Amino acid sequence: MASMIVTDPSSAAAAVHRLPFARFSNGLISLGRFVGPLHVCSPTTTLPRTLSLRSPRSSRFITASMATEPSAKVIDGKAVAKQIREEIGADVSKLKEAIGVVPGLAVILVGDRKDSATYVRNKKKACESVGINSFEVHLPDDAPEEEVLKFISDFNADPTVHGILVQLPLPSHMNEQNILNAVTIEKDVDGFHPLNIGRLAMRGREPLFVPCTPKGCIELLHRYGVDIKGKRAVVIGRSNIVGMPAALLLQREDATVTIVHSRTKNPEEITRQADIIISAVGQPNMVRGNWIKPGAVIIDVGINPVEDASSPRGYRLVGDVCYEEACEIAAAVTPVPGGVGPMTIAMLLSNTLSSAKRAYNIK
């Protein structure tokens, strides 16, 4: 059940689950994909802090001094994603009116995994909600690799398709690398092509697409008016799909970035220096209150199921960050669920729209 909800390997938000569960030098180690509550997140002493954030809707700055209330601003990813989808919807309509072009996203699904089918359905629904055409190919589990490659080749050539996603995981007889490499870089809306990543890393170069989840993280910071330039940022986790590109994006915006990973000797000490924390390791409640600098802004990418007998489903979802403790210390924090999660599909739609605009040289 849990995997149907939280692990879309084609969606970087949840892809932190696919990282090997690494031992952090603080002694924590995850017990597996589905783990019990490793830590009790008890509230810590509340520290006075000053919070300066811009409301995502009003674009005005809100400054508040707080002495005792454990009330970090909640960064509402669901609301921001909804707003972005509305903006995309409006842009899609304009594009259609102006030049008669409708952006198109093709999704290739191989096999009968229920979770994969759910993700594909969600993407299709999201496309429909903003007026983007969606194309779906569903092949049986034993389809030959050549058939997948043939569909990719057709979509590469099809001018009505502006983005191509291959739903992962693929059946074990297929070469994932070969198949992903077959998607033309102009339609690689996931943004994982090394050429895109290289451009992301280089000053003065522009990637065609920014990977969806890290893009969503930065978009949340922007929409909440969080200054990035000159700030200390710590990214926890160095995956190709979240941690590393998130660090590159922060670096592009002039933050001073440190990547904390499984070989880092004192992650809590380093993380405590950060004004901005992006955590993407898939370890429930790993980032405790004493890892957090008072007034920091926290983007929690982890979506981890932990056992919870009181829940009808027998589990609940928590982030990498101990939310209750973060609320006491941070200036702002994303909840799990409802934080980064909803942003990933919004950014996928955004990348598909950008791709269509680029195809017709429209800014």
Please report, as residue ranges, which positions from 183 to 202 form the binding site for a copy of itself (by CB under 8 A): 193-202
Q: Which of 84, 248, 318, 340 binds a copy of itself (CB under 8 A)?
A: 248
Please report, as residue ranges, which positions from 258 to 277 form the binding site for a copy of itself (by CB under 8 A): 258-261, 263-265, 270
Residue 313: exposure state from Cβ atoms within 10 A (0-12, 13-18, ≥19): exposed
What's the CA gap between 352 and 126, in Å, rounded? 12
Q: Which residues of 320-356 are buried (b: 16+ CB within 10 A; e: fewer)?
A: bbbbebbbbbbbbbbbbbbbbbbbbbbbbbbbbbbbb
3-state helix, strand, coil in the chain (%, to 5): 35, 15, 45
Q: Which of 40, 45, 229, 363 binds a copy of itself (CB under 8 A)?
A: 229
Q: Which of 254, 307, 311, 360 binds a copy of itself (CB under 8 A)?
A: 254
Q: Which stretch binds a copy of itself (CB under 8 A): 60-68, 126-134, 246-254, 288-296?
A: 246-254
What single-letter amino acid sits at 53?
L
Is 203 near a copy of itself (CB under 8 A)?
A: yes
Residues touching a copy of itself: how many (CB under 8 A)?
Answer: 34
Is 279 near a copy of itself (CB under 8 A)?
A: no
Report, in Å, the least distance between residue 230 CB and a copy of itself. 5
Note if 190 is an active site residue. Answer: yes
- DSSP string over 126-183: HHHHHT-EEEEEEE-TT--HHHHHHHHHHHHH-TT--EEEEPSSPPTTS-HHHHHHHS
Note if 300 is an active site residue. Answer: no
Q: Which residues of 277-292 are buried (b: 16+ CB within 10 A; e: fewer)?
A: bbbbbbbbbbbbbebb
User: In sequence order, what are the residues at sequence separation of 6 or more whose Cβ sits closer than 8 angstroms to the Cβ of residue 227?
Assistant: none
Is 278 near a copy of itself (CB under 8 A)?
A: no
Is 162 near a copy of itself (CB under 8 A)?
A: no
Nearer to a copy of itself, 96 or 265 (CB): 265
Report, in Å, the least distance between residue 276 CB and a copy of itself. 13
Please report, as residue ranges, which positions from 30 to 89 form the binding site for a copy of itself (by CB under 8 A): none
Q: Which of 68, 204, 361, 363 binds a copy of itself (CB under 8 A)?
A: 204
Residues serving a catalytic function are 123, 167, 190
| Binding footprint of a copy of itself on the chain (CB under 8 A) | 25, 193-205, 229-230, 232, 238-240, 244, 248, 251, 254, 256-261, 263-265, 270
